[in-house]
Amino acid sequence: MTAQPATQVVTVEAGAITPGAAAIARAAQTLAAGGLAAFPTETVYGLGGDATNGAAVARLYAAKERPSFNPLIAHVADSAAALALARFDPAAERLAAAFWPGPLTLVLPKRADCPVAELATAGLDTIAVRVPSHPIARAILMAFGRPVVAPSANRSGHVSPTTAQHVLCDLRGRIELIVDGGPTPMGLESTIVACLDRPVLLRPGALARAEIERLVPLTQAPHAAAPPAHADEPPIAPGGLASHYAPRARLRLNARRVEAGEALLAFGPAPAAGAERAAAMLNLSPRGDLIEAAANLFSHLRALDAAGAATIAVMPVPRAGLGEAINDRLERAAAPRS
């Protein structure tokens, strides 16, 4: 994929929504090639990328200009596909049976063999999963056959798009394809419920709380009312639930040399002084590419953490482009923990 794709708009006529329809096939091909394709869901237009392809997920964050890596929702065609990603407790099973397909996102324990890229879940052991009901979204997910991350198809800080024209205004020249299926029916984001211990409402949304409470009792997330950092982001609730990936090892940032016993998380072609004595070493991007670095961030941190060093020295990463989000996550991971 080129750095500056020409954005094509393809229209799906009402009544022509079949997995064989040209626009649906184009979207599936775009996703398979690591490209970005916006499409309508019943909530808002989503910016779709292959959830199993870390580089595609990194490009998606870059296209949206997100200053930090929020975990993304994995969209799948049906409950069977969701079962391959996450573990469902009885409450989650009941909610999925009642409200999927539809505007309900479930945050669940991630299966060990879950194929979704670490960057998409921001390194967490949980995953947010949804089966959308919009016929175009469903047809694309069926044709593609793998999970798709699809945050709202707008630049960070802008309002969520409910028409293809909104998407074009924000993302022209940044994504390969927009599937125009007319205005989205709901215009409000999905409701998010975590089923990790007992069901917790993480974000109110298009599915009313009362509907859910008819089936399972809901606990309000401890900090659900915290204001979002950016206008287009939901209130990040979850005291401890959406909390950040925290390595066991201490992180030493902006390291220009490696001390004895440290592991090294490198960036760029020039190794840090003393790299040869690092207990373990991985490079986020030997060619200094920030999109590649983002795709590798959480998986490399995990791998170095597993190698057992008490400290991971992290070379400086420039703050341009995705570097802002990379540094944000590194700083959070390095912060002292109680």
* C-alpha neighbours within 13 Å on the C-beta side of residue 176: 21
Minimum gap (Å) between residue 89 Cβ and ligand AMP: 15
Q: Which residue is nearest to Mg ion (CB)?
A: 152
Burial of 124 (0-12, 13-18, 19+ CB in 10 A): buried
Q: How far is CA 52 from CA 6, 55, 113, 188, 248, in A?
A: 24, 9, 12, 26, 25
User: Residue 202 binds what, of ligand AMP, Mg ion, none (CB under 5 to 8 Å, by partner type)?
Assistant: ligand AMP
Cβ nearer to ligand AMP, comparing 83 with 275: 83
Minimum gap (Å) between residue 83 Cβ and ligand AMP: 17
Cβ nearer to Mg ion, comparing 160 with 327: 160
User: Residue 296 binds what, of ligand AMP, Mg ion, none (CB under 5 to 8 Å, by partner type)?
Assistant: none
Matching residue, tokens 């194929």: 115
Nearest to 7 by CA among 165, 181, 160: 165
The secondary structure element, H or E, covering residue 143 is helix 135-144
* Residues forming the site for ligand AMP (CB under 6 A): 70-73, 107, 121, 124, 126-128, 151-152, 189, 192, 202, 233-234, 236, 238, 241-242
How far is 238 from 220, CA to CA, in rounded Å? 9
User: Residue 82 binds what, of ligand AMP, Mg ion, none (CB under 5 to 8 Å, by partner type)?
Assistant: none
Cβ nearer to ligand AMP, comparing 241 with 265: 241
Minimum gap (Å) between residue 176 Cβ and ligand AMP: 20
Number of other residues whose CB lies within 10 A of the CB of residue 78: 14
Minimum gap (Å) between residue 234 Cβ and ligand AMP: 5
Minimum gap (Å) between residue 104 Cβ and ligand AMP: 12
Cβ nearer to Mg ion, comparing 39 with 267: 39
Encoded amino acid at 247, one letter: P
Cβ nearer to ligand AMP, comparing 35 with 205: 205
Cβ nearer to ligand AMP, comparing 38 with 192: 192
Minimum gap (Å) between residue 47 Cβ and ligand AMP: 9
Q: Which residues pair with 265 in a beta bridge?
A: 282, 314
Which tokens belong to 212? 């859910």
* Residues forming the site for Mg ion (CB under 5 A): 152, 232
Minimum gap (Å) between residue 232 Cβ and Mg ion: 4
Cβ nearer to ligand AMP, comparing 175 with 312: 175
Q: How far is CA 320 from CA 11, 65, 69, 130, 202, in A?
A: 35, 11, 15, 32, 31
